[in-house]
Amino acid sequence: MANVTFTSPRMQRDLTVYAVAGDTHTLLSVAKKNKVPLESDCENGECGSCLIQVSVLSGKAPVGMALTEKEKTVLRYAGKITQAQIDDAETNDRPPPWRLACQFIVRHEDILVTF
């Protein structure tokens, strides 16, 4: 179970929604379901329009989550992630702060999503 707080200058105020941890729905689908104005063009990890910054709110170390190959490529091309961060995510289970909403699966931690 996780609370996801969306924040953006495009919104009048922050919105916190409940997301089922481990559900196979992406963060983008959670946003759409709750009418969050998160941009998305391709919805399959190729365009990068759903770029988000994720912060864990629990104060604990964030739980890692595998980056898809598409996500790695798009984030590196956009200059949001380095090869060292990819290596750290894969070997030490530490997620990078920048992700793609269409590829991110909500885990069991409360997060702040900035877009």
Q: What percent of the chain has pLDDT over 90?
A: 69
Give the span between the Cα atoms of 2 and 107, in whole angstroms.
7
| pLDDT (0 to 100) of residue 18 | 92
**pLDDT greater than 70 at residue 34:** yes
Count CA atoms within 13 Å of residue 74 on its CB side: 22
Mean pLDDT of the chain: 90
d(CA 87, CA 91): 6
pLDDT beyond 70 at 47: yes
Phi then psi dihedrals of residue 28, to 5 deg: -60, -40
pLDDT (tens digit per residue) in 12-29:
999 999 988 667 789 999
pLDDT in tens, 59-97: 776 766 778 899 999 999 999 999 999 998 888 888 899
Q: Where are the domains of the chain?
A: 2-114
Say whether pLDDT at 114 is over 80.
Answer: yes
Q: Which numeric CATH code is attached to 2-114? A: 3.10.20.30
Sorting pLDDT into bands at 50, 70 and 90, what band is 37?
very high
